[in-house]
């Protein structure tokens, strides 16, 4: 694997390979000594143009457990107008000898620009770009769904026939986009639930059913219900009238949690707005996978870095 930029172009075999390697990584994380020597001497740069403590420390933990050297580069608000350009930053990292760059950026497509510009030779991992994609989040979500469903029998399996419902601000969500493509690739059936203002204007090409009614979606008995964080600044832009109304119509409260089948898992990429899109009851219930998602995030990111930096490659340099 040369780069991980999105899940849209990730083939089923590649995705399963990442998930299976992540299983191996998860096994090593149950040992007393969690550190592996695999990436000793490799340098991983966390290039974060946006604040995201959770994602950054997850990548940092993953790299360190593989014995890579980690450089954290926080370059908030960089653009031609505000200071150093992406090109200059990238070339600086190249000069420092980065082997992999994990990039979080507010502009959709910035990781692809970085990977295709010729500015660097390092592998690029997209850790979230604007409102485009967040592929490692989708991979850890798929890993979590698979693990919850199949347990120790997970390896080699896809998500065929499983029903996953994603609720919230689809329009601005990179998590939703990455999940739609990956879940579809893995054979799951995807339903999106959102206020009509927060669905992209044309989703005719998306392999997903669109609903506006959360109760209807719950009545179909999804295997996984994924609640997305709602950004309160969306209210100012008239996407929905008030926090209270959003919570009432699209929040997972105690009543809806009760209506959800006991076999359904409740997911959230974090950080949660408790009491807004998800009630404390739901977040803390045994059906919640929130903390497993965090744990699995490290394993999945270990797998991605491993396949990027130490994985077997054929002549094309592909996975």
| Binding site residues, other proteins, CB under 8 A | 8, 79-81, 85-87, 105-110, 112-113, 116-117, 129-133, 174, 177, 200-206
* Least spacing, CB of residue 283 vs other proteins, in Å: 27
- By beta-carbon proximity to other proteins, the closer residue of 98 and 208 is 208
* Least spacing, CB of residue 55 vs other proteins, in Å: 17
- By beta-carbon proximity to other proteins, the closer residue of 88 and 245 is 88
Residue burial 196-226, b: 16+ Cβ < 10 Å; e: rest: eebbbeeeeebebebbeebeebbeeebbbbb
* Least spacing, CB of residue 141 vs other proteins, in Å: 18
- By beta-carbon proximity to other proteins, the closer residue of 175 and 276 is 175
* Least spacing, CB of residue 70 vs other proteins, in Å: 24
Tokens of 4: 């991980």
Contact 251, 277 (CB under 8 A): yes
* Least spacing, CB of residue 80 vs other proteins, in Å: 6
- Residue that is written with structure tokens 């592909």 in the block: 318
Q: At a CB cut-off of 8 Å and minimum separation 6, what does 192 contact?
A: 165, 166, 167, 170, 176, 180, 199, 203, 206, 208, 209, 210, 211
Contact 298, 60 (CB under 8 A): no
- By beta-carbon proximity to other proteins, the closer residue of 182 and 276 is 182
Q: Determine the Cα–Cα distance for residues 240 and 271; give it in Å rounded to an integer.
A: 21
- By beta-carbon proximity to other proteins, the closer residue of 195 and 251 is 195
Tokens of 208: 């997903």
What is the separation, in whole angstroms, between the first and last Cα of the chain?
A: 4
- By beta-carbon proximity to other proteins, the closer residue of 23 and 50 is 50
């Amino acid at each position: 694997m040369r780069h991980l930029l999105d899940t849209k172009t990730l083939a089923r075999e590649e995705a399963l390979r990442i998930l299976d390697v992540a299983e191996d990584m998860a096994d090593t994380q149950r040992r007393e000594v969690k550190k592996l020597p695999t990436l000793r001497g490799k340098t991983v740069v966390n290039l974060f143009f946006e604040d995201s403590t959770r994602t950054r420390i997850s990548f940092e933990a993953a790299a360190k457990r593989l014995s890579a050297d980690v450089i954290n580069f926080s370059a908030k608000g960089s653009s031609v107008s505000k200071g150093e350009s992406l090109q200059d930053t990238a070339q600086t990292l190249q000069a420092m000898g980065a082997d992999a760059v994990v990039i979080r950026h507010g502009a959709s497509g910035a990781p692809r620009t970085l990977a295709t510009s010729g500015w660097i030779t390092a592998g690029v991992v997209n850790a979230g770009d604007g409102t485009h994609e967040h592929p490692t989040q989708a991979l850890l979500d798929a890993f979590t769904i698979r693990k919850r469903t199949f347990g120790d029998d997970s390896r080699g399996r896809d998500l065929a026939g499983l029903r996953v419902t994603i609720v919230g601000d689809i329009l601005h969500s990179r998590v939703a986009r990455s999940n739609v493509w990956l879940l579809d690739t893995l054979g799951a059936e995807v339903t999106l639930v959102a206020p009509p203002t927060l669905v992209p204007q044309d989703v005719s090409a998306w392999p997903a059913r669109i609903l506006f009614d959360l109760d209807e979606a719950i009545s179909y008995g999804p295997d996984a219900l994924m609640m997305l964080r709602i950004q309160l600044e969306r209210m100012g832009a008239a996407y929905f009238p008030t926090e209270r109304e959003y919570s009432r119509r699209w929040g997972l409260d105690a009543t809806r949690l009760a209506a959800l089948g006991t076999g359904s898992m409740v997911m959230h990429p974090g950080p949660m707005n408790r009491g807004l899109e998800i009630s404390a009851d739901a977040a803390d219930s045994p059906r919640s996978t929130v903390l497993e998602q965090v744990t699995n995030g490290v394993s999945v990111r270990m797998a991605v870095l491993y396949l990027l930096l130490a994985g077997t490659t054929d002549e094309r340099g592909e996975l």
